Chain A
Amino acid sequence: GESVGLHLPTLSVQEGDNSIINCAYSNSASDYFIWYKQESGKGPQFIIDIRSNMDKRQGQRVTVLLNKTVKHLSLQIAATQPGDSAVYFCAEAVTTDSWGKLQFGAGTQVVVTP
């Protein structure tokens, strides 16, 4: 079936550098995308979202880019900090689907090194 997936299972980043986490999706009907951060033993926390009528959206130290042509989503974290160490998930949804269920990718473990 169609699914959301990530290119890299683990990303090691030096403190202060920028991080880029990638996500590929295959459901062309998806029009809403979310990035979540999950720390060990906790529930996922919302980071940023983007709708398909946008290519880019910025938050505090984070930017999400959406390339609908190649069905690719990325999360950029500026000036990565030790507190950014976590697993990051992308999720997709079809907002015209009345049930609106979210499908998640496998996740990327980000490790910030000093």
Chain B
Amino acid sequence: DGGITQSPKYLFRKEGQNVTLSCEQNLNHDAMYWYRQDPGQGLRLIYYSQIVNDFQKGDIAEGYSVSREKKESFPLTVTSAQKNPTAFYLCASRGPGNTEAFFGQGTRLTVV
């Protein structure tokens, strides 16, 4: 089935560690996005990518990094520079013609 897959579903990180969240899509979409969601709040854009090997910072990029080496994959690294990383992270992709974004099921990251 076509879709967008995030892994892992739950992730625990010790303070000072970097962690990488996976996002894979087989929808042949060019555009991919990472959002952060805190409890009771909306989605804030971290990074987005329109094409392979190119990406742009969103509204809250500090402490995060991404890569886009393949069309299907857009991993997000939460670095130790991110002071408050505990949140729900959502990845999305969009097809041509500026249509709706399809979301993965999210990764809940907790710092322990």
A binds B: yes
User: Which residues from chain A sit less than 8 Å from chain B, CB to CB?
Assistant: 32, 34, 36, 41-46, 49, 89, 91, 93, 95, 98-107
Docked CA distance A32–B97 (Å): 11
Knowing A100-B31, A100-B94 touch, does A106 contact B42 (C-beta < 8 A)?
yes
Q: Is the CB of B106 within 8 A of A101?
A: no
Q: Is the CB of A107 within 8 A of B42?
A: yes
Residue of B nearest to A43 (CB): B103
Knowing A43-B103, A43-B106, A93-B98 touch, does A98 contact B42 (C-beta < 8 A)?
no
Residue from A43, A93, A100, A103 in contact with B90 in the complex, judged by beta carbons closer than 8 Å: A43
- Is residue B63 contacting chain A, with contact meaning CB distance below 8 A? no
The count of chain B contact residues (Cβ–Cβ below 8 Å) is 26
- B12-46 interface mask toward A, CB cutoff 8 Å, 1 = contact, 0 = none? 00000000000000000001010100000111110
Q: Is the CB of A45 within 8 A of B103?
A: yes
Q: Is the CB of A100 within 8 A of B102?
A: no
Contacts A41-B108, A42-B105, A89-B42 given; 14 further ones with Cβ under 8 A? A34-B100, A34-B101, A43-B90, A43-B103, A44-B90, A44-B103, A46-B100, A46-B101, A91-B101, A93-B98, A99-B50, A100-B94, A104-B43, A106-B41
